[in-house]
Amino acid sequence: MKIIVCIKQVPDTTNVKIDPETNTLIREGVASVINPFDMYAIEEGLRIKERMAGSEVTVVSMGPPQADIALREAVSMGVDKAVLVSDRKIAGSDTWATSYILSKAIQKISDFNLILCGKQASDGDTAQVGPGISSWLDIPQVTYVKKIEKIEVDKAIVERMTEEGFDIVEIPLPCLFTVVKEINEPRLPSLKGKMKAKKIEIPIWGVDDLELDEGKIGLNGSPTRVVKIFTPSAREKGMILDGKAAESVNKIAALLEDVIIG
């Protein structure tokens, strides 16, 4: 089983900065972590590897050179290989362009049965990149996977979360899953893994390596763009009503009357 896990390095939620000219996140030089949802995708890939002899897990990330740190952390958890897609020409790519770029990286890897992604990234919360990758690769997908009931080299049976409960889905491989945090509990890096992470050579692929269409990448090649970012105004101080329910209802009615009449 050849498994590819797509991960993203995101800014630490306590240290988010925005470029005022491009309205995009500033990533270089900012303290970052692996997107929390992607940690569950890494763990699930490793669990499948442990169940199926001869399996291999490769992590792929797109970002600035510092994303190398996230890839090495994944290797320290037990991942076999890592690839970084990094090029100044892809900076500012939206979810459409990002999924296109990652799909081209996966095509370059070529040999895979399963792609795993976290359900969404904590910095964008769009949940669009995973499904976008499957669309570019023209393979089936299942989103919000909470449990892999059974998996073989040619098919899988999974549970996916819905608003009402969950669905049981049988799907042919190769395919793509986006996973939720209910699927597992990510492991800690091992000492052996940390030693491997320090030594491993991580290839860096750019625009030329992936033969990307430059009209589909970067800020200019993205069909969507953030026009304005602002901090919502603070809400007015709330009011706490004490006393019995009937008294509170009368106070609320009086307040509403003042608002309507006033």
| pLDDT confidence bin for 184, thresholds 50/70/90 | very high
| pLDDT confidence bin for 235, thresholds 50/70/90 | confident
Judge whether 257 lies within some domain: no
Percent of the chain clearing pLDDT 90 (strictly above) = 72
The tokens for 48 are: 């499948």
User: Does 238 have pLDDT greater than 60?
Assistant: yes
Q: What is the pLDDT of residue 15?
A: 58
- Which stretches does DSSP call E strand in the chain? 2-7, 9-11, 32-34, 56-62, 81-85, 114-118, 141-151, 155-161, 166-172, 175-179, 204-205
Q: What is the pLDDT of the chain when averaged over all its residues?
A: 90
- Residue 103: how many other CB atoms lie within 10 Å: 22
Give one DSSP letter per residue of 52-72, joined into a string.
Answer: STT-EEEEEEESSGGGHHHHH
User: Does 142 have pLDDT greater than 70?
Assistant: yes
- Residue 29: how many other CB atoms lie within 10 Å: 9
Judge whether 61 lies within some domain: yes
Identify the domain containing residue 176 by its residue range. Answer: 2-221
User: Does 223 have pLDDT greater than 80?
Assistant: yes
Question: Residue 53: which CATH number?
Answer: 3.40.50.620
User: Does 247 have pLDDT greater than 90?
Assistant: no
Taking the C-alpha atoms of residue 96 and residue 213, their distance in angstroms, rounded to an integer, is: 13
Taking the C-alpha atoms of residue 188 and residue 166, their distance in angstroms, rounded to an integer, is: 29
Judge whether 245 lies within some domain: no
Mean pLDDT of all residues in 138-162: 96
User: Does 262 have pLDDT greater than 60?
Assistant: no
pLDDT of 72-116, one tens digit each?
999 999 999 999 999 999 999 999 999 999 999 999 998 899 999
Mean pLDDT of all residues in 186-191: 96
Distances (CA, A) of 210 to 104, 128, 184: 6, 21, 33
Number of domains in the chain: 1
Judge whether 262 lies within some domain: no
Judge whether 132 lies within some domain: yes
Taking the C-alpha atoms of residue 106 and residue 96, their distance in angstroms, rounded to an integer, is: 16
Mean pLDDT of all residues in 41-60: 97
Judge whether 241 lies within some domain: no
User: Does 29 have pLDDT greater than 70?
Assistant: no
Amino acid at 9: Q
> What Rg value do the Cα atoms of the chain yield, rounded?
23
Mean pLDDT of all residues in 250-259: 79
Taking the C-alpha atoms of residue 202 and residue 197, their distance in angstroms, rounded to an integer, is: 10
Task: Find out whether 192 and 71 touch, Cβ atoms under 8 Å.
Answer: no
Which residue blocks in 200-244 are alpha helix, DSSP H?
Answer: 207-210, 218-221
92-101, 128-137, 159-168, 221-230: the lowest-pLDDT one: 221-230
Judge whether 247 lies within some domain: no
